[in-house]
Amino acid sequence: MKYIQVAIKRAQASQCRYRLGAVVAVGGRVVSSATNKKRNNPAIDFTNATFHAEEAALRRLRSSKGGVIYVARIDSKGKAALARPCMRCQELLSSAGITKAYYTIDDETVGYLALTS
């Protein structure tokens, strides 16, 4: 899956402890990509310290109806790790019109979620 590879490259650019990248494709074309980002100091508000990569990618879009998202996480050794979108992100993606989510599980395995609105 070429878009998972793009998401892995985006994850490598993340400045966060857990490095994630997301790519949104509509009609076979990449329309947005992002990494997870620090939003504020975790000492101030730990539960809202970052924007998730999925959320950051959606913020860059005008329309994502019928889109597919690819999410990747890399560990400290540069290996792919579990990147299944959390429930909050699943709800955001679904309400934005994203229909499918693919995510890394490890270097050789990609998971799939069917998102319903």
pLDDT tens readout for residues 66-81: 899 999 999 999 999 9
Closest to 10 (Cα-Cα) out of 19, 2, 18: 19
Span 105-109, mean pLDDT? Answer: 96
Per domain, the residue ranges of the chain are 2-114
Domain at 2-114: CATH code = 3.40.140.10
pLDDT band at residue 51, thresholds of 50, 70 and 90?
A: confident
Closest to 21 (Cα-Cα) out of 106, 108, 103, 96: 103
pLDDT given at position 20: 96
pLDDT given at position 42: 57
pLDDT for 111 beyond 70: yes
Characterize the bridge pairing of strands 19-26 and 68-74. antiparallel
